[in-house]
Amino acid sequence: MYPLTRAELEESSEAIEAAIDATDGIDPWCSGPDWALSVSTGFAPRGKHLYLQSADGHGFALFGYYRDLQRNILLSSIEPLWGFACPLFGVDIDALAAEVAADLEQLPHWSSLIIPGLPPLPHPTALAVSAALGRLGPISVGEGITRRVADLSDGYEAWLDNRSARFRRNLRQAERRAVERGLKIVDVTADGDGSDCDHDPGSEPFDRLLAIEHESWKGSEGSGMTSDEMSAMYRFMVDRLRQQDRLQVFVARLDDHDVGYILGGIRNHRYRGLQISYRSGYDDLSIGNLLQLHQIRHLCRHELAHTYDMGMDFGYKQRWADRAETSITAVIQRA
């Protein structure tokens, strides 16, 4: 394996994403730099990393160094929080895993290796990784992440037909209320600001979203994008997605004021929902549902995505989604 600097990693983004897309069963959006580097920037800005590229140039292993409560050194994904991102991916996963194992065997000091984001056993990707890395020491497997995913491959009408009659009726009623109240949903992905605005038209998109978030229930609880770490993470991510023309942002406006937003990103026809929020005091307008519906229509109308990854499983997402995608986490204790 060849070590990479952060600058070289950025320069290799296209090759990294090609390697991710060639690795069956892993999260193709969150394993990539758009997500993983953003989380690392927000939550481990001064962390030490180990970026490796395989000898054939078509495989990568992106690790971060961490410490457990006993101050032992752990190696895991550069995304140190949720565990969406798989740190190993390549065209030949068997060869890559063997190459990684040989390198890590010679690497001093680390005591545990944690590999999140693997597909459930007996998937070939998980078998290849566990077989190769199991030579380093005892291996155990635990539950990982469950994500909810909507299938948009057959278009909006097909997706809508798969929702319950009650769900469809509630959406129609919400849209009628929105029209009566004059609620508008505008695209602020590019440089446009949507109409007469109550914000600085020269402000960055993230600042506009953060202003809404601070007056939402997430803001009152200090969650969402309002904490220092989450703010740093999403500011970096929004800027990165915007530069690559992957950013999707819609804002709900009422009486010339921003009252809600939906934020996501697109890569390789896969849309990843990132955050959705609205200001307190507008619960009767179902703003979250309307933004979600608007985003799905937009993705289908413009054929931007055939998959909508809604992220971590929550009850309300099951009404919008068509299936679940799950992962496991492998833990290797160094022999």
Q: Distance between CA atoms of 21 and 197, rounded to whole angstroms?
A: 40
pLDDT in tens, 5-28: 999 999 999 999 999 999 999 999
- 266: how many CB neighbours lie within 10 A of its CB? 21
CB 308 within 8 A of CB 276: no
pLDDT at residue 196 greater than cutoff 70:
no
Provide the mean pLDDT of the chain.
Answer: 94
DSSP assignment of 259-323 equals EEEEEEEEETTEEEEEEEEE-TT-GGGTHHHHHHHHHHHHHHHTT--SEEEEEE--GGGGGT-SE
pLDDT for 204: 75
pLDDT at residue 199 greater than cutoff 80:
no
pLDDT in tens, 144-172: 999 999 999 999 999 999 999 999 999 99
Helix, strand, coil shares of the chain, percent, nearest 5, are 40, 30, 35
Query: 3-state DSSP call for residue 181?
Result: helix
pLDDT in tens, 205-254: 899 999 999 999 887 777 789 999 999 999 999 999 999 999 999 999 99
Going along the chain from its start, the domains and CATH numbers come out as 2-146+326-333 (3.40.630), 153-305 (3.40.630.30)
pLDDT in tens, 80-97: 889 999 999 999 999 999
* Confidence class for position 202, pLDDT limits 50, 70, 90: very low
pTM of the model: 0.93
pLDDT for 191: 52
pLDDT for 121: 97
pLDDT for 16: 98
